[in-house]
Structure 1
């Protein structure tokens, strides 16, 4: 009986070893043999967590590209090139790994929200400044970190959830959306005055 168990264990071990050998390497999506030493790409190659984020971004980007196939003007590829340059600017940061990690995380969340690749809540409508015609339409996405896409007229803004004591505050490049008990305080544009917006039922 013992001999049979040992034999079975040995066979399982061989099977596991064979399966492990067939697994792809756990590096990033790009060829680490072609990167420059001390570059941000080299840092990604050397860090398992950053490599995993790179692989995830590659998968998310591919899904976004399918959604953007008929996008006019085509923006996704140019934006991705710009993002790579921004990621590489993390070489100027004191904590390069943390900077790169945040860059990947926000890019993944942004693509998932903009191209509707994850579950969402909404759209929810908010009338601002007591004017039903001045409307903010917000859709909340289950990304990590959570995001929303807010639309006002023909403009839209991607915002990311920020830590606050109460309510839920989302921040974009020049916009913010702070919701609490059905009321939202919104800043739309650089230097713009805060608007008070109420949910429209």
Structure 2
């Protein structure tokens, strides 16, 4: 009987613990009632759920920043509402729903970190943005990185952007997708864009 009771107790413990673990690894909204196809995609992907949690963390830090003026707080909240609408419109993207949603989260993380000091107030899975000066086109690239789920490099420049997952490399950190690649080694990086020769970039200052 003692052995049976222990097995029953263990089974009950595991049954209770499993949903809690799933909740910790899920997004910040209720997957039992997703509000859009984009939220359904997030619920189905651990990587997207991790990006959702990191975005929520940065947004909360920015909102709670005591140095943020009322005007900028209103701007932040309005931009977040607009961002949600944009993310939810990913169902119609030519990139496909998961890639569009990934890019939406990554670019919002990059934007929050760059625009709001409060979003950088505490260490977490994302870093940056860091400015890189390159010897080709574009001449200036802003780069953030996130370790939420699959590690990503998030690059923006005047003419466009790239969201690149980490790929195998013998040294340094190499991010790439399609014909676009960003390979960092210390403060130096090589940027390769589709149809262009590789550019050598130097990190200019901490972002």
TM-score by length of 2: 0.50
* Aligned equivalents of 2:44, 2:129: Cα separation in 1: 37
Q: Pick closer, same or farther for the CA change 1:5–1:60 going to 2, 3 Å.
A: farther
Q: Is the Cα–Cα contact under 8 Å of residues 141 and 147 in structure 1 kept in the other structure?
A: yes
What stretches of structure 1 of length at least 5 have no aligned partner? 127-135, 151-157, 172-177, 185-197
Query: How many pairs are equivalent?
Result: 157
The question of 1:92 aligning with 2:92 is answered: yes
Tell me the residue number matched to 2:52. Answer: 54
Residue of structure 2 equivalent to 1:194: none
Q: CA RMSD in A?
A: 4.7
State the shift of 1:59 in Å: 2.5
Counterparts of 1:160 and 1:68 in 2: how far apart (Å)?
Answer: 31
> Which residue of 2 is the match for residue 43 of structure 1?
40
- Per-residue CA distance 1:32-74 (angstroms, 9 max, x = gap): 5373xxx434533652433443333223211221237523631
For 1:13-28, list aligned pairs within 5 A: 13-20=11-18, 25=23, 28=27
Distance 2:128 2:50 in 1: 28
**Structure 2: 5+ residue stretches without partners:** 134-139, 165-179, 194-198
CA distance in 2, matches of 1:54, 1:124: 25
Larger relative contact order (Cα-Cα within 8 Å, sequence gap ≥ 6): 2
Do the aligned residues in 2 keep the contact of 1:68 with 1:76 (CA within 8 Å)?
no
Cα distance change on mapping 1:86 and 1:147 into 2, 3 Å:
same
TM-score (norm 1): 0.51
Question: Hey, what does 1:145 align to over in structure 2?
Answer: 152
How far does the alpha carbon of each residue in 1:157-200 deviate from its partner, in whole angstroms, 9 at most, with x for none? x99786247834499xxxxxx653x5x7xxxxxxxxxxxxx89x
Q: Distance in 2 between matches of 1:170 and 1:68?
A: 41
Distance, in Å, in 2 between the alignment partners of 1:124 and 1:91 is 32
